Amino acid sequence: MRRTGIGIWLFLGFSGIGIGCFSVLDNFYFRSLGYSVAVIGALTATFNISLAVAELPSAVVFDRRSHWAAIQIGNAIRLVGLVLFFLALGPVGDFLGEGLAGIGAAAMSGTSVAYMLNRLGAVDSHERRRVMGFSVALGAATSLAGGALGLAGYAIAPRMIWGLGALWIAVAGVVFFVGRPRTSTVASRQVEPLNAYVRGLIDVGRHPRAWLAITADAALVGPLLLWQLRLGATDISAVFLGFAVMKVAGLLGGQLLGHRRVGTRVLLACLAGNIVSVVGFAAANEVAVIVGFFGIHVLLQIAVSVYCRSELHAVVDDSRRAGASSVVSLLGSLVSGIAALVVGHIADVSGALPAMIPSITLYATVAVLTITTARTQQR
């Protein structure tokens, strides 16, 4: 924290509480409005596609100006999206809210990681994984607290999940404004020609390590879209149980590979575990079994994601770090958006188990890319 400053960590902590307030029951809330799984998938796709459209322009602007400003602007736009959800204006308002939330996420998606890593300076991959793993664990812990608040708010009025989320997101912005950095990073001062910068980002988008991160992040889409609906069919308390297990698994998953030097076999074992767990999650009928498989899946998915993101940043310059993260997020959002539409349609037509096919396919793709990358490095 001495290098990064406490402001960014407080921002991430308060943001985690805000995100937890609504993410504990967001799809369950939409289902209670009478939306089909396909419509909920379309809402998710709207978020991802709007994020993808806004990713690269925001990265080009803010990598060459200020990561701090990117985080603040993205946070403010996301806040407006949450307010729209709280106002409950109907389908048009909900789709607009998803679009604004996606644009806000785009403006800040790569910048918080870039902000931390650039301020760390020259460190090895083990240190990068440690910091990124801690940020994931912090998000999981604070969002669990936010989930408890969201559950209490939902009991009062369902749309309170959005009001409470907006409140904490606003607090995060104020805290980060007060704790803004007094000195700029090297990346924010160094400005290379725009053509060279864009060419560099295109090269990042073509890199095998980028596609490791893209497919690993997108593979979560099936369970993420359906877990609330599967558990909420029994009891709303089961949804919070699943949320709590998810966040504890996130805490453990953020640390699982963060403190270790990891080989290809370990990563492939995690990927195999992910495929088994998503099948178990979709096939099971008992709440305890569904929650158990879901927790295992989240733990392994977070571990794989942290590893893949760290490997990407090992080959990225400081001056393009936020842009590189945004390119990966852009491509990942497009893949996730398409997959969400497919998952929603399959779930409505054929059920939960066939709806896991997109996630299984993406995990298999990560495995193939891992093996191919390892063989290329050996040569």
Tens-place pLDDT, residues 274-287:
999 999 999 999 99
Say what the pLDDT of residue 5 is. 65
Rounded Cα distance, 167 and 164, in Å: 5
| Reported confidence tier of residue 42, pLDDT bands at 50, 70, 90 | very high
Q: What is the pLDDT of residues 63-88, one digit of tens each?
A: 666 677 778 888 999 999 999 999 99
Positive or negative, the Cα torsion across 210, 214, 216, 217?
positive
Say what the pLDDT of residue 186 is. 45
Q: What is the pLDDT of residues 303-334, one digit of tens each?
A: 888 888 777 777 776 666 666 777 787 788 88
pLDDT-above-70 percentage for the chain: 80
| Reported confidence tier of residue 121, pLDDT bands at 50, 70, 90 | low
Residue with more model confidence, 265 or 349: 349
Q: What is the pLDDT of residues 246-260, one digit of tens each?
A: 888 877 876 676 555
32: which 2 tokens?
A: 């209670």
Positive or negative, the Cα torsion across 129, 130, 132, 134?
positive
Domains in the chain: boundaries: 6-378
Say what the pLDDT of residue 189 is. 47
Residue with more model confidence, 108 or 94: 94
Say what the pLDDT of residue 178 is. 83
Cα 184 to the center of its chain, rounded Å? 26
189-198, Cβ contacts within 8 angstroms, sequence gap of 24 or more: 190/318, 190/319, 191/64, 192/319, 194/60, 194/64, 197/60, 197/63, 197/64, 197/319, 197/320, 197/323, 198/60
For residues 5-11, give the mean pLDDT: 80
Say what the pLDDT of residue 286 is. 92
Residue with more model confidence, 169 or 251: 169
Rounded Cα distance, 27 and 145, in Å: 19
Rounded Cα distance, 138 and 12, in Å: 8
For residues 144-172, give the mean pLDDT: 95
Residue 213 has pLDDT above 60, yes or no: yes
Q: What is the pTM of this model?
A: 0.80
Superfamily classification of domain 6-378: MFS general substrate transporter like domains (1.20.1250.20)
Say what the pLDDT of residue 18 is. 95
Q: Contact 320/204 with Cβ under 8 angstroms?
A: yes
| Reported confidence tier of residue 288, pLDDT bands at 50, 70, 90 | very high
